[in-house]
Structures are given as structure tokens and as C-alpha cells.
Amino acid sequence: MAIVTLLTDSGESDFYVAAIKARILSINPGITLVDISHQIVPCDIAHGAYVLKSVFRDFPKNTVHLVGIDAHARRDDAYLAVLLEDHYFVCADHGLLGLISEKSPHQVVALNKVNPIQSTFAERDIFAPAAARLASGVAISSLGQHVPNFRKMTDRHVKATKKIISGHVIRVDHFGNLITNIPKSAFDVLSKDRGYTIQFGGEKFRRIHSRYDQTEQGDCFIVFNSLNLLEIGIYKGHASELLGLFYDSPVAILFDE
């Protein structure tokens, strides 16, 4: 089954997403189209990378992911088709792919180099045809010129010692919950048979919950979420607003001696 996912910052109040889908289906009406999201904050590479990283591996291998975020970032940005972790990605070369995987790509080709199209709508005119052809079984090498790699943005890394895990908020989600980059794997190793204190803003907590509803309405909860990342929220409230924490705010877990 040929699958193309769509992740864009186009919103849903205009014709843009429908036009991208129409171009794909006009090339191969048998392709299955899956919307990941069209509500990415405009030109927000970090937001797009977080959403894509969280879900792309859940799709079957050889799925094609059309990433229409900040598609006209800079005049010198190339348009790429990339085979990475057995998935195909079609996007602008603005660094997003470096945020979703630390692995090296299998293949990278630059699109729109031979007889280039001048377009103000690259997602429809360049990305969609490339995605449709990949999903139809066309070899990636036939879509453009081989290039050695793509641009890579780097994200903040977690710092972990025997005494502390230091991380940051990497996403404030739709519910106002604070998603951090602190992984459960590091916590499980360092917390074995030890007490701990979780610190953020002016708050200190000594418990991690297993479910969101283990606190009363309006109280703070802390869980390891479905991505196995530490998440902070207010039960039926907006944690970012109430706690005064936002993207990149520091969060730490200190371990008892």
C-alpha cells in the first residue's frame, strides 16, 4: 500500500492542503493520504520536527512524508528527497531532518535542478509530484541530482550525571502540557533505589505519576508520556500559562545522596 503523509504549516482555512492532495492524486489516485497535521506554527521548524519525530516511525517502511513547513526559508535552500531510516522525506533543506534522526541518510537527491520550475507554491508544484512518484515505486535516484547530505539543525541535549538530569521543555502541546526532552530510560537507571526531586520554575515535586488523572483538578501532574518523555501538566488546566514555563524552559531531576 502506497502511503504519503502530509505535515504542513498551511492551516486548514485555505485551499493549500487540498491543492497538494489533488496534485498527488492526479499522478496516482491509488495513493493513501494521511494528514499528520496542518496546524504547525508557521515556519516553526522545531514544532514540525517534534511532531514528525514523534510519529514517522509508526508508519510502515517506505512511507513517503511530505513536509511542507517553511518551504521557502532561504533563497539558497534546495528542495530534497531523502531516504532516511527506511522512510522517504520530501522537504526543503532547512535543517529539520537533523532534528528527527541522528542517523545518516541512505540517499539524498536535490529536486528541481534540471529544468527548474519557478514556483511560489513548492509544496504543490515540486514536493507533491516527487512524493507521488516515490510512493508509486519510482527510484529516488531518478528524481534529481545526488547530493552528499542535508543541512542539520541540532537540538538541546539532556545532561545526566549521578546527581542530576538536566533538560528543557521541547514542546507546549495543545493542552498546555509541557513536554521535556528528559527520557524515561535515563531516569530509570539513575533513580534506582534513590529518592529524587523534580524542579521547574519555582516548583519542587517528589513524585512521578503513572496517569494524568492521579491528581485533583487544577493540581500538577508529572508523567512519562507515550513517547517515554517527562511531561508536566495541570489536570484539566493549562500548565504553560499557570506555571509560567514555555519552550526551552529548564527542568531538572535531582537525586538524593
CB distance 212 to 149 below 8 Å? no
Whether 159-255 and 3-146 are alike in CATH topology: the answer is no
* Distance between CA atoms of residues 16 and 145, nearest Å: 28
The model's pLDDT over 160-216, given as tens digits with 9 standing for 90+, comes to 999 999 999 999 999 999 999 999 999 999 999 899 999 999 899 999 999 998 999
Half-sphere exposure of 122 (CA within 13 A, CB side): 23
Label residues 111-142 b or e (16+ Cβ within 10 Å = b): bbeeeeeeeebbbbbbbbbbbbbbbeeeebee
Looking at the DSSP bridge assignments, the partners of residue 149 are none
Above pLDDT 90, what percent of the chain? 88
Three-state secondary-structure class, residue 64: strand
* Distance between CA atoms of residues 145 and 155, nearest Å: 29
As a whole number, mean pLDDT of residues 78-85 equals: 96
Q: In whole numbers, what is the pLDDT of the chain averaged over residues?
A: 94
CATH number of 3-146: 3.40.50.10790
Whether 7 shows a pLDDT value over 70: the answer reads: yes
Cell numbers representing residue 49 in the block:
520536527
Confidence bin at 257 (pLDDT 50/70/90): confident
CB distance 57 to 65 below 8 Å? no
CA distances from 161 to 10, 139, 201 (A): 42, 46, 21
As a whole number, mean pLDDT of residues 134-162 equals: 92
Residue 51 CB burial class (10 angstroms; 0-12, 13-18, ≥19): buried
Nearest to 218 by CA among 234, 231, 240: 234
Domain boundaries along the sequence of the chain? 3-146, 159-255
As a whole number, mean pLDDT of residues 42-66 equals: 97
As a whole number, mean pLDDT of residues 96-100 equals: 95
Looking at residue 73, its pLDDT comes to: 57
Confidence bin at 146 (pLDDT 50/70/90): very high
Nearest to 5 by CA among 82, 98, 68: 68
As a whole number, mean pLDDT of residues 224-250 equals: 96
* Distance between CA atoms of residues 79 and 255, nearest Å: 46
CB distance 54 to 173 below 8 Å? no
CATH number of 159-255: 2.40.30.90
Looking at residue 113, its pLDDT comes to: 83
Q: What is the model's pTM?
A: 0.90
